[in-house]
Structure 1
Amino acid sequence: MLQRQSRDPAAHGAALPMAHNDSRSFFNLSQLVLSAGQIKPSPALKHSKITYFEVEIVDVQSKKQICIVDKVSSCFVIGTGPQWYPSRVGLQLEHNGPFLKDSISIQSLAASSIITLYFTDLGQQVGWTTFFLTEYTGPLLIYLLFYIRLSTIYDQVESRKNFRHPVVHLACFCHCLHYIRHLLETLFVHKFSEGHTPLKNMIKGCAFYWGFTSWIAYYINHPRYTPPSFGHKQVSYALPSPWIETGSDFPTLFFPLSQGNRTCFPSPTYNPFTWLFLLVSCPNYTYEAGSWISFTVMTQTLPGKFETE
């Protein structure tokens, strides 16, 4: 009996720690579940119905079918069309209608599941920034070539003999300042709604600006150039206009006319050069015309007048 009793406590003593450990594990598990909050069932997957369209591309000139794009989703954007360089593609919903913007989706155009678009090759394209930088850099460099009186342009014997009137140096400074301002506006101010323009437009713009710059610079920097008839007074009265034009646009150089994705128009400020904004809808073109008229009077050269046209 004594041996049996001595074995029983040992057996119970071995079982007690196991029961204690089980209760502690259960307690810890319950605390973990309670701290995790209510167990939510996983949300059911929603299957959205996808609408597909069939897009037919037709050549606007020959009226022949170019291709058919099948299974086009409703979120497809015009500007992501296949096979062609995007900037050369012109798509129209109607034969003589306007060109569609790249941001328009297929779903906004669809009247049925089949859509017909008319394709036009817009030709070689250039970016607007490249367009204006090329257009304005040319006059700046061309005028300086005439100003230094290259031997291929003027007779060097006459160039050494004739003294340059001060208005010649002043005209060069004003002309360079004018186009430097245009270059700064192109780089830091202008926001373009469209990304590209046909190359032929840049060629025409360069022909105009470069050609008239050559015409103006040739006469003003010629060794036989005749100074203004009324001398210093004529120069003094005509000179302020280019400075007014430059001063009016300096605020836009330091404070670009945009707020996020929204473009705003300039408004008058404490700067008196901006007060013309109250009177005209396009003050930049008004100042531009005024500056070239002033330049024409200051240098007494007819070609400068044509820059205002």
Structure 2
Amino acid sequence: FVLYQVEILDWKTKQQLCFLDKVNDNIVEMAGDSIYCLADPHWYPARQSIRLDPKGKSLRDEEILQHLPVGTTATLYFKDLGPQIGWTMVFLTEYAGPLFIYFLFYFRMPFVYGLNDKLTSSPHPVVNLACICHSFHYIKRLIETIFVHRFSHGTMPLRNIIKNCFYYWGFAAWLAYYINHPLYTPPSYGQNQINFAVIMFLICEAGNFSIHITLSDLRRHGSKIRKIPYPTKNPFTWLFFFVSCPNYTYEVGAWISFTIMTQCVPVGLFTLLCFIQMTVWAKDKHYTYVREFKDYPSIRMAIIPFLL
């Protein structure tokens, strides 16, 4: 096997942090060596980003030097990603917040709408239904986080969780305030509109769950190897014929249904922002699939069949 000499520079200052001699071609072992050479215990592996170019992407753990465009003397760049937090804890925190925040408004806490007895309950059944659907959505997410999801990256920067929680928790409070407000008015087309929205909501939730199960099955036993997801016998997975990220398609569909059900402007705005963000994520994943797999189905789009 080939032994390498590896120089590790700071990605910003270009100063040498350490020099590794007689390194084998396993990037994981090399990253571990760099921790000891940097002689600082707070640079644990999850905090490290090692890359070929200062502004490039981080090398994955499974990448080896032999397959990288470097000679036997390689120069790599180190970036401290800051304190990290596990993705499971991230999702649990993000999703538990909206679940409990919504209840504060649904149960009409005195500090929200006032002490008047007339404000302690709503005459509109759709308000109760909206609470059930909203709670179901986030309980499903919590269950998926614990029992279904398999994460390709173990952690994310701790600072990001503050931003994410502000987004999820803030919107949950905003839309819950208006849906449960004493002056809330039900949808214009009455029960027919509500029934249609509930059916579409449940279909999208079932589809989203089915896609997550399918994606989880691709990474059994802790495998990090990326594979092309294909439809299964489950009809909800047939959307894989047309899009790369049907989980996002179903997610957006669920929030569109919730918007129709409640006919509430804050919910509509949240749905729009969700669609924009998920489109960005879906396009990124779609282009990654296309780049990595030469036989990737050409008919697939990122998130909307035949369109986007």
**Smaller-chain TM-score bracket:** 0.7 to 0.9
CA distance in 1, matches of 2:186, 2:180: 11
**How many percent of aligned residue pairs carry the same amino acid?**
46
- Bigger drift between 169-178 and 82-91 goes to 82-91
Matched residue, 1:101: 60
| Partners of 2:205 and 2:251 within 8 A in 1 | no
Matched residue, 1:297: 260
Matched residue, 2:101: 142
- Bigger drift between 289-298 and 159-168 goes to 159-168
- Paired AA for residue 72 in structure 1: V
SS in 2 for 1:54: strand
Matched residue, 2:6: 55
- Cα separation, partners in 2 of 1:129 and 1:114, compared to 1, 3 Å: same
CA distance in 2, matches of 1:111, 1:296: 53
| Partners of 2:211 and 2:247 within 8 A in 1 | no
SS in 1 for 2:79: strand
Matches within 5 A, 1:105-184: 105-109=64-68, 111-157=70-116, 159-160=118-119, 163-184=122-143
For residues 209-236 of structure 1, the C-alpha deviation after alignment (integer angstroms, 9 at most, x for no partner) is 1111111100111122222233222212
* CA apart distance, 1:127: 1.6
| Partners of 1:131 and 1:202 within 8 A in 2 | yes
SS in 2 for 1:170: helix
- Cα separation, partners in 2 of 1:264 and 1:71, compared to 1, 3 Å: closer
Q: Work out which of the residue numbers 247, 257, 260 in structure 1 matches 2:217.
A: 257
Q: Work out which of the residue numbers 229, 234, 237 in structure 1 matches 2:193.
A: 234
* CA apart distance, 1:279: 4.0
- Bigger drift between 242-251 and 67-76 goes to 67-76
CA distance in 2, matches of 1:250, 1:100: 31
| Partners of 1:268 and 1:277 within 8 A in 2 | no
CA distance in 1, matches of 2:58, 2:212: 33
| Partners of 1:257 and 1:265 within 8 A in 2 | no
SS in 2 for 1:294: helix
For residues 247-269 of structure 1, the C-alpha deviation after alignment (integer angstroms, 9 at most, x for no partner) is 22454577743264365625253
SS in 1 for 2:253: helix
Matched residue, 2:171: 212
Matched residue, 2:202: 243
For residues 29-69 of structure 1, the C-alpha deviation after alignment (integer angstroms, 9 at most, x for no partner) is xxxxxxxxxxxxxxxxxxxxx76443222112112122223
| Partners of 1:125 and 1:199 within 8 A in 2 | yes
Structure 1 unaligned runs (5+)? 1-49
Matched residue, 2:18: 67
* CA apart distance, 1:71: 4.0
* CA apart distance, 1:158: 5.0
CA distance in 1, matches of 2:22, 2:196: 70
State the number of aligned residues: 259
- Cα separation, partners in 2 of 1:187 and 1:224, compared to 1, 3 Å: same
CA distance in 2, matches of 1:114, 1:96: 20
CA distance in 2, matches of 1:197, 1:253: 20
| Partners of 2:5 and 2:20 within 8 A in 1 | yes
* CA apart distance, 1:157: 0.4
Matched residue, 2:296: none
CA distance in 2, matches of 1:232, 1:115: 67
RMSD: 2.7
* CA apart distance, 1:167: 0.7
Matched residue, 1:78: 30
- Cα separation, partners in 2 of 1:222 and 1:74, compared to 1, 3 Å: closer
- Cα separation, partners in 2 of 1:243 and 1:66, compared to 1, 3 Å: same
> TM-score, normalized by length of structure 1?
0.73
- Cα separation, partners in 2 of 1:89 and 1:230, compared to 1, 3 Å: same
- Cα separation, partners in 2 of 1:184 and 1:162, compared to 1, 3 Å: closer
CA distance in 1, matches of 2:56, 2:238: 41
| Partners of 2:84 and 2:158 within 8 A in 1 | yes
SS in 2 for 1:149: coil
| Partners of 2:107 and 2:121 within 8 A in 1 | no
Matched residue, 2:278: none
| Partners of 2:4 and 2:22 within 8 A in 1 | yes
* CA apart distance, 1:106: 4.4
* CA apart distance, 1:274: 4.3
| Partners of 1:55 and 1:68 within 8 A in 2 | yes
Matched residue, 2:270: 307
> TM-score, normalized by length of structure 2?
0.74
| Partners of 1:268 and 1:275 within 8 A in 2 | yes
